[in-house]
């Protein structure tokens, strides 16, 4: 899912001693190719660079720069939407189940790692998914790929083929 405009292509003569790369978008690259042909150096290496990297390598500041967001999370506008009071019978049962599930997890699961924390995130996601019915599905450790990143995420929620 990488757009060709997002790629940086560099080439070098495979036989060159210094293996210096030149941008394939560079005006001098045509001259470089001609010199390769003239010297019978028809073996070229092409390297492809992209901004895509594992999601775990992205920092808040790097993401803020790409999407031109404020540099401090407190300056990002808050998302506001309506709320559901969860007063219907189904929601009340789900809330009670969530509370019991969290109590059991809190008394039996111990640790300080990210894996430990994710054990407490899942019940909330499961409840939110249940409130929405069969429309929202949860995929743990789902591999996703986009323009800037790729790799498994802790949890992926999909609503009608859209990652939310």
Q: Where are the domains of the chain?
A: 4-50, 81-163
Helices 89-108, 114-131: inter-axial angle, 10-degree rounding: 170
Q: What is the pLDDT of residue 99?
A: 96
DSSP codes of every residue in 42-104: --EEEEEE-S-EEGGG--HHHHHHHTT--SSGGGSPPP--------SHHHHHHHHHHHHHHHH
Mean pLDDT by 10 residues, the chain (164 residues): 63 56 63 74 67 83 88 87 88 95 95 88 92 88 86 87 80
Q: What is the pLDDT of residue 37?
A: 74
Coil, strand or helix at 163: strand
**pLDDT tens-digit map of 124-152:** 999 989 988 888 999 998 898 888 888 88
| Nearest alpha-carbon partner for 30 in 4, 38, 47 | 38
- Name the region of 138 (left: φ>0; alpha: ψ -120 to 50; beta: rest): beta
Q: What are phi and psi of 50, to 5 degrees?
A: -140, 160
Tokens found for residue 69: 């967001």
Q: What is the pLDDT of residue 101?
A: 96
Q: What is the pLDDT of residue 98?
A: 96
Q: What is the pLDDT of residue 84?
A: 83
Work out the burial of residue 13: count CB atoms within 10 Å of its CB; fewer than 13 is exposed, 13-18 middle, 19 or more buried.
Answer: buried
Q: Are 78 and 114 spatial neighbours (Cβ–Cβ below 8 Å)? A: no
Coil, strand or helix at 29: helix
Work out the burial of residue 125: count CB atoms within 10 Å of its CB; fewer than 13 is exposed, 13-18 middle, 19 or more buried.
Answer: middle
| Torsion of Cα atoms, 49 then 50 then 53 then 55, to 10° | 170
Q: What is the pLDDT of residue 48?
A: 67
């Amino acid at each position: 899912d990488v757009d060709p405009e997002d790629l940086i292509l560099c080439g070098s003569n495979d036989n060159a001693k210094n293996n210096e790369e030149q941008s394939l978008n560079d005006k001098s690259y045509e001259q470089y190719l001609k010199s390769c042909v003239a010297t019978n150096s028809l073996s070229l290496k092409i390297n492809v660079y992209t901004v895509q990297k594992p999601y775990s390598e992205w920092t808040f500041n790097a993401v803020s720069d790409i999407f031109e967001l404020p540099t401090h999370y407190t300056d990002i506008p808050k998302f506001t939407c309506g709320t559901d009071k969860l007063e219907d019978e189904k929601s009340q049962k789900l809330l009670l189940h969530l509370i019991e599930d969290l109590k059991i997890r809190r008394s039996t699961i111990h640790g300080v790692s990210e894996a430990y924390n994710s054990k407490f995130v899942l019940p909330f996601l499961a409840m939110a998914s249940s409130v929405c019915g069969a429309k929202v599905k949860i995929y743990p450790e789902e591999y996703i790929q986009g323009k800037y990143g790729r790799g498994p995420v802790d949890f992926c929620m999909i609503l009608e083929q859209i990652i939310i």
